[in-house]
Amino acid sequence: MSLFKNLLMALSILLSLGVNAGFEDNEDLYPYRQNLHINHPMQILNSGIGALWARVDMIRRANETLELEYFIFNTDKASRIILRELVSAANRGVKVRLLVDKSAAVFVLDEFFAEALKKKNVEVRYYNAASIIQISTVQFRNHRKMISRDGIEAITGGRNIADEYFDLSETFNFLDRDVWVEGPVVATMVETFDRFWKSDIVETPSKPEAPIKFAGDRVVSRKEKRKRAVQHKERVKRFKSKRRFAHRFLRDHQKDDFSALRYAETYGKKALALTNKHTCPHVGFATDKEGGDFAKRVSSADYHLNYRLLRKEIAKWLGYIETEVTLDSPYFLNNSRSREALEKMLDAGQKVNILTNSLGSTDAIYVSTVFAEEVRGYTPLDNFSAHIYIGKFSNESELMNDEIRNAVWGTHSKTIVFNDKAVMVGTFNIDNRSSYYNTEMAIFCNESKEIRDDVMDNIKLRMKYSKKLGKNGRPEDGSKLLANSSFTKKLLYFFLKVPASLLKFLL
């Protein structure tokens, strides 16, 4: 009998993994998946500096609560602007909570900053502090990005909190996209934030402890004592320096910060007005569930059915495709599920358009190394069209200076346009990390041609600054696939090609 039950369970898992073109499905699971046929005001945020102003403006209008959740929260101009606005909000009585992923690869806002913020009544927590030696569990990152105010309005999309997401870096910037939404769905988004906030893999930062003197053996030489004394003095010096920097970070106003804030307050408002607020009659929201780890991942019946909830919603919305779908993602890296979905669309005669990065426009060289082989299987098809961004600014808005304009630019948007009235904007990349490991979130809108057009028009503009790939998988204009790439990037491209191919399941 137990063998029969096991066979039935295995069969049910295999069937569930094949539903909806490779995406499993079940009933909506509130609050992780929700569809509301209620009018919601909505606005697409394409401009980086406009998106920064939208966040500053939201924080300044907060009366009761602010929730922020980000994969990356740097310590640069944009971050200082946001943090000081949060401190100002906390000073007037707003409850401010900030959840930051603790990925060793990108983590910056450490316990010294958390301590300084706590003294300013801003509460900080970290998601998944697993050590890098925990090779399995450490992969499960929180890639969600959200800011919400008073439970009534929110912004989500591709942008983290760092200069490069808000058109402020003089070396590398992302062309990205967010969506602002107001209405009942925001309460659902906040409820998922609460669940992440209370997750058992979230930690409250500990207070940094001052270094203590080495207690070691009592009998040591004078030379060794002097050496240890010097080492202790250096540790204390670094400790005090980190603490001092974190506190000054929230207090000092640097010239560059003031200029960036003034630019956000002036031109940012104008840039934000490049797209209007429209009404969306059918709003969808979906997020993956918090708390995923290796043990849950290997239990497919539990993990895939109850944790990977966003891709179920995406599968449902793929049914809205009529004749054409457009995918805007910084990465194009298929797995068995997304490949099956893509091939099902192509076999049905639906046209598939893709905008992604070239080597010259990406900061993820390891993904670029496997892109050429991945895309070459589809470029011969008449109903498949791929554009790779070339690394130059798209001239879609003003910039603070020429140094920023001359920086390297890449696409970072995570968007799907399903038809002439339906669109998704969120944090989900077309890669294995978003499909299997990272928790992601997205807002969907149906029955609004205006919102869809604000997204599609911007994608088409960015495609003009891209290279269309021909049937041989190389640029149609005869240029090199690795054009506009530095010698160092090309060297790393070939150096990483074999290991990236072997570890493709982690990319």
Q: What is the pLDDT of residue 298?
A: 77
What is the distance between the alpha carbons of residues 84 and 34, in angstroms, rounded to a whole number? 34
Side-chain-side CA neighbours of 205 within 13 Å: the count stands at 24
C-alpha torsion 362→363→364→365, nearest 10: 80
Q: What is the mean pLDDT of residues 229-243?
A: 92
Given a cut of 70, is residue 15 above it in pLDDT? no
Q: 326, 467 in Cβ contact below 8 A?
A: no
Which one-letter DSSP state was computed for residue 161? B
Bond preceding residue 41 cis, omega within 30 of 0: no
Side-chain-side CA neighbours of 30 within 13 Å: the count stands at 6
Which two three-digit tokens encode residue 306? 């109850």
**For domain 281-506, is the CATH number 3.30.870.10?**
yes
Interval 395-404: pLDDT, tens: 999 999 999 9
Coil/strand/helix, residue 229: helix
Residue 285 pairs in a beta bridge with 34, 443
Domains 42-209+246-272 and 281-506 share a fold: yes
What is the distance between the alpha carbons of residues 484 and 365, in angstroms, rounded to a whole number? 13
Q: Which of 32, 187, 205 is nearest to 127 (CA)?
A: 205
The arrangement of secondary structure in 42-209+246-272, i.e. its CATH architecture, is 2-Layer Sandwich (3.30)
Interval 356-391: pLDDT, tens: 999 999 988 888 888 888 898 999 999 999 999 999
Interval 328-362: pLDDT, tens: 999 998 888 888 999 999 999 999 999 999 999 99
Q: Which of 423, 430, 459 is nearest to 444 (CA)?
A: 423
Interval 134-191: pLDDT, tens: 666 788 999 999 999 999 999 999 999 999 999 999 999 999 999 999 999 999 999 9
Q: What is the mean pLDDT of residues 42-49?
A: 98
Q: What is the pLDDT of residue 17?
A: 32
Mean of pLDDT over the chain? 89
Q: Please state the domain extents for the chain.
A: 42-209+246-272, 281-506
Q: Which of 72, 145, 68 is nearest to 108 (CA)?
A: 72
Given a cut of 90, is residue 38 above it in pLDDT? yes
CA 111, 117, 121, 123 torsion: positive or negative? negative
Q: Which residue has the higher pLDDT, 453 or 135?
A: 453
